[in-house]
Structure 1
């Protein structure tokens, strides 16, 4: 089983790709809710390169590392990776100055598919807000 989420961002594909693959940007948007944040991020954007983000509760009560290895990169349209024995595919497509991101991932066994879908979608929605605010195209 795979889970797919998506959003359309009012920004060109190059700006979206950069925000998705730059550690300084990832730290700004990579959280599902305001009580979590990403404290550090690294990206080695090449096939076989690794990525990692440290996510922590703002109150310091818990945290975890999300990391993996890139298995396919087609800038600026596709990223594929493996993380924790699971696969991730992120597709970027542009039309009319807007970029659609479609993320497909293999879920883990500890949380329900609905919970994982909601969490990943919340992060993607946060990403959309960040990119639109950075590009001056935030919804009014």
Structure 2
């Protein structure tokens, strides 16, 4: 079973793509709740390239690294990556009112599927708000 989350972003595809793949943007939107933040991010956007981000509780009580390797890049269309023994794909589908961003990923076994879906959806919702704030 895989988990899917998605959002529609009212912005041009190049702006959506850039915000999803640029470390300076990633640290602004990559959090599932207001009490967490991403303190650093690195992107080597090519097949075989690595990515990483450091997510931490704002109170300093905990944090973790999220890292992996890009397995397929199709500019403005698809980013596929592996992280540990899991995989994910990010699909970008331009439409008349912006871009649908859909993330499909393998769940892990420590947390309930619903919790994982809610967390990844919250991050994607933050992404949408970040990009749309830059266009307005």
Q: TM-score, normalised by structure 2?
A: 0.99
SS class of match (1:120): helix
SS class of match (1:110): coil
What are the within-5 Å matches in structure 2 for residues 1-140 of structure 1? 1-136=1-136
Give the ranges of 4+ consecutive aligned residues of structure 1 lying more than 2 Å apart after TM superposition: none
SS class of match (1:34): coil
| Equivalent-residue separation in structure 1 for 2:92 and 2:117 (angstroms) | 19
Report Cα offsets for 1:116-136 as digits up to 9, x if no partner. Answer: 000000000000000000111
SS class of match (2:117): helix
Question: How much has 1:97 moved relative to structure 2?
Answer: 4.2
SS class of match (1:54): strand
SS class of match (1:111): coil
Question: How much has 1:96 moved relative to structure 2?
Answer: 1.1
SS class of match (1:15): helix
Q: TM-score, normalised by structure 1?
A: 0.96
CA RMSD of the aligned region, Å? 0.5
- Structure 1 spans left out of the alignment, 5+ residues: none
Report Cα offsets for 1:69-104 as digits up to 9, x if no partner. Answer: 000000010000000110000000111140000100
Count of matched residue pairs: 136
